[in-house]
Structures are given as structure tokens and as C-alpha cells.
Amino acid sequence: MIGKLFSSNRDKNADSAPAQQKPASQKPAQQQPATVAKKASGKSQHPQGGKRRNQRRRNTPGTEDKDWHLGLFPVPEVPGKTRFHDLDLPAELMHAIADQRFEYCSPIQAQSLPHSLNGHDLVGKAQTGTGKTAAFLVTIIDDLLKHPLQEDRFAGEARALIIAPTRELAMQIADDSRVLTKYTGLETHVLVGGMDYAKQQRRLQDTLVDILVATPGRLLDFCGNKDVYLDQLEVLVIDEADRMLDMGFIPQVRRIIRQTPRKSHRQTLLFSATITPDVVNLAEQWTEDAVTVEIEPQSVATDTVEQHVYLSTTEEKYTLLYNILNQEDVDSLIVFANRRDECRRLHEKLERHGFKAGLLSGEIAQNRRVKTLNAFKSGELKVLVATDVAGRGIHIDGISHVVNFTLPEEPEDYVHRIGRTGRAGKSGTSISFACEDDAFRLMPIQELLGQKLKCVQPPLELLAELPPMGPRRRAPGDDRERDGRDRNRRGRGRHSNR
């Protein structure tokens, strides 16, 4: 998870926070007590002072957690590995890390945390499944605990903000944040579209906002309605910047960043699966003297995931999927397709063949997505059918298999897909079907991975004849409702059927 510096010119117009007027009737929420420890923060060229953060911050000496201590979580030193013990983290945070049995840092964590914990801005190149979420969450939690505020705050006044491109990813980050802040008293809020605005609004009014995780559109709604204030922000995280670019969210992100303090007065962490010239340009605008950390995709894709590519016809693909699902070693499986209509058809076939299957795509309501993900996590569902956009927020350990029913249009999506398995040090299996319609996509995938994928004919047992399907299980009116949605979405660009 590390590397060289970006030099960036300060853009006063694009990177300053206009003064926001809080409603006079809005009472400051009471600051929660937090156990803290002294922190030396700052850039390498400012070793004494560091960044000028919110003047209400203060350093205070730490206190031990009375019910837990590091002696209860012994981790031996191993040459070449970095322990979380080595990072001088607060006891409350270490307690949560111990609960998760996180003993040693992943590469992105080991390389980035020494810099980010010392106050440096950071640009990280890392795929999902590398531990980057924990890297920026540990940075945020450490910073907020070691620098509590000296006075009360207004409701909706966030201290740390994490911007994510999709609802699923934002909700997963928020879940991870709540796990790591379990013993800290810090409050995590998540703001995403497709869920009850009023309910999210009430929680903002009732509870302090320490860590805010949000998608760009919904966050702008809350800022525009004066329900969220970003002018006192201390830490900003932009996750999956390349995906933000692909999905056209950068103008919205710019509007959000204009409401935050200048980049010299906040810490900014930007993560991206690829460091393109466009991403470099964004980093130069939004960060100051950032350290760059690069973890190459092949480190993610090949170490813990066994990859297979089966050459098949279009007609054989579903037969292969059915027979793979019936193998004994398949505990849980995610199957990816490029289009929502493909996912719908696959989901229907799987259910008619008796599989407990869930569906994730852009047309599924958020509350249904949450229920589907929870059912998949609990083992109630064995298989999940997903598009790339919906599937990027799936961060579940223990998934045994990933199937690429259709090869992705973008090579980076291949790495994101297979990164759903082989997580947290466990092994996993990815199986891709390459037919006459999409085999040409293998070459750019192999170039990105830096290795050649072995393409073979599928074993004969995976082409065994299928049993007859059961009857359709569709509620009356589904066709009319879905057809109407598809007509309304027709012609909305490359992501309209994702």
C-alpha cells in the first residue's frame, strides 16, 4: 500500500469552502467524550506544525481502555510484515481490530498507514479486496480519537467524509466503519439514494456526525437542504475515483469539495483502481503534496484466486453455470453479466431450476438490495446474480466462486469481479465463459493482469444435460411494470442497462 509525491498548485476557486450559515434555531449537538492520545501530524516539509486543521481541535493524552489491553491480543513479530501493534493506534481501535483478528497489515495498509497516520495526503492505487477500506477507516478513526474538538458541534456537521460511487459500496463502508468504531463512541452515518430521506434526516438531527459515508447525489441533496455541513471537515476520502469518472460523478464531487475547507486545512485520501492522467489531474487539484501508493492488480488477482477460462458457445453458458452450481465445493457464488436484462433472465432460470438466488442490478430498489445482500451473507441464498455497477459494493468474506457469465467490457472490471472471492487471505475460484461474442475481451484483461490466462474446453461433466425447469414464478403485472421502466431508461448511455 505507497511511493512518490504529487506536487499540486492550490486552486483557490475550486478548493475553498464558502461560509455556511447554520440555522439559528439549530442547537449544537453535545460532543461525545472520546479516549485520545497525542498525535504528531503533518507533512514532511512541515515536521513541527503539520496542516492547519479546525482550530477547535486539540491534542490530549490518551487513557487506557479499562476492560481491554493489548496484552490480550498478542501478535508475534514477523520479518517483512507490519503489525497493527506497530502503528501506535488508540486502544479502542485496537480492541475492534482484535475482534476481527486482523493481525498483520495488508500491503496497501502497510505502505499507506505510516504516511496517512502522520497527516499526509495520499493517492492510493489499489483494487477492491486489498484492504484499502480498512486503511482509510483506520486513518480517520485514529485522527478523530487523537484530536477531539474543544467545543460543541452543530447537528449535521461532519468531521470526516467518505464519498463512494455506489449505494452498495457506501453502505458496506459504513458497516465496516461501525465495526471499527465499536468501542470509540464515534458515530457513522450513511447517506444514499433509494432510501427514506426523512429517516436519514432524523438520524442526522438526533446524533452527531463523526464519519459520514455518502454517494455524491444524495449528499448534495442534504447539503442543499442545510441538513449537512462540510465547512469543518477534517478528513476527506474519495473512494474509487476512476469509477466516479466513468459514471460521470466528477462535477458533483467538485461541488461537494467546494463546500469543504481548503486542501491545506484538511487531509485528503484518494483511492483508485487505476492511476490514469485524469485521476492524476484530480489528485493534483484535491490533494496537497500527496504520497502515492501503488499496488499492482496482479498482486490482487492471482495470489488467492484460482482463475479458469472455459471456451464455450453462447448456448452452453447456462448449462455450464447450472452444473458448476451443483458441484460439492461451491458454497456461495456470484455470477456477473454485463446487462440488466441478462441478469433478469439468469435469475429467473436459476429460480426455476430450484436454486435460492438473489438479483442485484440498478433497477432493484435499495431496500430489496439490502435484504438480498443480507440473505446472501447469512447463507440463505447460495447464488447472487449481479451487474458490475451493483456488484462493486459486495464485500463479503467467504465467497467461494465468481462466474463471469459474460466477460466485462472494461478490463478493470474483471479484477473487481474476481476480487469478490479470495478475500481476507482465503482462497477462491473464478470461472469465465468466453464465447464467440466476447472472447476478444480476453487480450486487454491479460495485459492488465500481466499474465496469460489458460483457456480450455470445459470438462464434459459440466456440459451434462439439464433437467426441465419448473414453472415461472412471476407476480401479476411484473411484465408491464418492468417494460415501463425499460422504456423510460432507454437511451441513457452506456450504464443504462447496468
At 91-104, the pLDDT tens digits run: 999 999 999 888 89
Same domain, 69 and 97: yes
Residue bearing the bigger pLDDT, 28 or 445: 445
Report yes or no on 9 lying in a domain: no
Residue 3 DSSP label = -
Report yes or no on 384 lying in a domain: yes
Helices (H), 118-225: 132-146, 167-180, 197-206, 216-224
Q: What secondary structure does DSSP assign to 215-276, as a single string?
A: -HHHHHHHHHTTS-B-TT--EEEE--HHHHHHTT-HHHHHHHHTTSPPGGGSEEEEEESS--
pLDDT the model gives residue 474: 57
For the chain, give the number of residues. Answer: 498
Where does the pLDDT of residue 397 fall: very low under 50, low under 70, confident under 90, or very high at 90 and above? Answer: confident
Calculate mean pLDDT across residues 280-284: 95
Is 236:161 a contact under the CB 8 Å cutoff?
yes
The mean-pLDDT minimum among 79-88, 128-137, 178-187, 338-347 falls in 128-137
Residue type, 234: E
Specify the residue for cell string 465499536: 182
Domain boundary pick from 277, 295, 313: 295
Report yes or no on 494 lying in a domain: no
The three cell numbers locating residue 410: 472494461
Distance CA 348, CA 358 (A): 10
The mean-pLDDT minimum among 234-238, 434-438, 468-472 falls in 468-472
Same domain, 370 and 436: yes
Report yes or no on 5 lying in a domain: no
Specify the residue for cell string 451493483: 390
pLDDT the model gives residue 471: 86
Same domain, 241 and 383: no
Residue type, 67: D
pLDDT the model gives residue 410: 84
Judge whether residue 24 has pLDDT over 50.
no
Same domain, 285 and 324: no
Where does the pLDDT of residue 358 fall: very low under 50, low under 70, confident under 90, or very high at 90 and above? Answer: very high
Domain boundary pick from 237, 261, 295: 295
Report yes or no on 282 lying in a domain: yes
Judge whether residue 33 has pLDDT over 90.
no
Q: End-to-end CA distance of the chain, in Å? A: 31
Is 256:236 a contact under the CB 8 Å cutoff?
no
Report yes or no on 410 lying in a domain: yes
Same domain, 267 and 312: no
The mean-pLDDT minimum among 135-139, 352-356, 422-426, 460-464 falls in 422-426
Where does the pLDDT of residue 249 fall: very low under 50, low under 70, confident under 90, or very high at 90 and above? Answer: very high
* pTM assigned to the model: 0.66
Give the distance, in angstroms, between the CA of residue 329 and the centroid of all CA atoms in the same chain.
Answer: 28
pLDDT the model gives residue 370: 83
The three cell numbers locating residue 436: 464467440
Same domain, 191 and 318: no
Class of residue 371 by CB neighbours under 10 A (exposed 0-12, middle 13-18, buried 19+): middle
Q: Give residue 449's domain range.
A: 299-489
Same domain, 360 and 390: yes
> Strand pairing partners for 149?
57
Residue bearing the bigger pLDDT, 432 or 396: 432
Domain boundary pick from 295, 310, 344: 295
Same domain, 467 and 336: yes
Residue bearing the bigger pLDDT, 423 or 439: 439
In percent, the amount of the chain with pLDDT more than 70 equals 78
**Each residue's pLDDT tens digit, 284-336:** 999 999 999 998 755 445 578 899 999 999 999 999 999 999 987 888 999 99
Report yes or no on 108 lying in a domain: yes
Report yes or no on 11 lying in a domain: no
CA angle at residue 360 from 481 to 441, to 5 degrees? 110
Same domain, 278 and 320: no
Same domain, 218 and 319: no
Same domain, 70 and 192: yes
Return the CATH number at 216. 3.40.50.300
Where does the pLDDT of residue 283 fall: very low under 50, low under 70, confident under 90, or very high at 90 and above? Answer: very high
Calculate mean pLDDT across residues 206-233: 96
pLDDT the model gives residue 381: 94
pLDDT the model gives residue 344: 93
In percent, the amount of the chain with pLDDT more than 90 equals 53
Residue type, 238: I
Mean pLDDT estimate for the chain = 82
pLDDT the model gives residue 346: 96
Same domain, 154 and 290: yes
Number of domains in the chain: 2
Judge whether residue 429 has pLDDT over 80.
yes
Is 150:57 a contact under the CB 8 Å cutoff?
yes
Where does the pLDDT of residue 391 fall: very low under 50, low under 70, confident under 90, or very high at 90 and above? Answer: low
Residue type, 288: E
| Residue in 88, 271, 236 with CA at minimum distance from that of residue 162 | 236
Where does the pLDDT of residue 366 fall: very low under 50, low under 70, confident under 90, or very high at 90 and above? Answer: confident
Q: Calculate the alpha carbon distances from 2 to 110, 125, 271, 327, 425 in Å.
A: 8, 9, 12, 41, 21
Residue bearing the bigger pLDDT, 48 or 120: 120
| Residue in 302, 218, 288 with CA at minimum distance from that of residue 253 | 218
pLDDT the model gives residue 43: 32
Residue bearing the bigger pLDDT, 20 or 354: 354
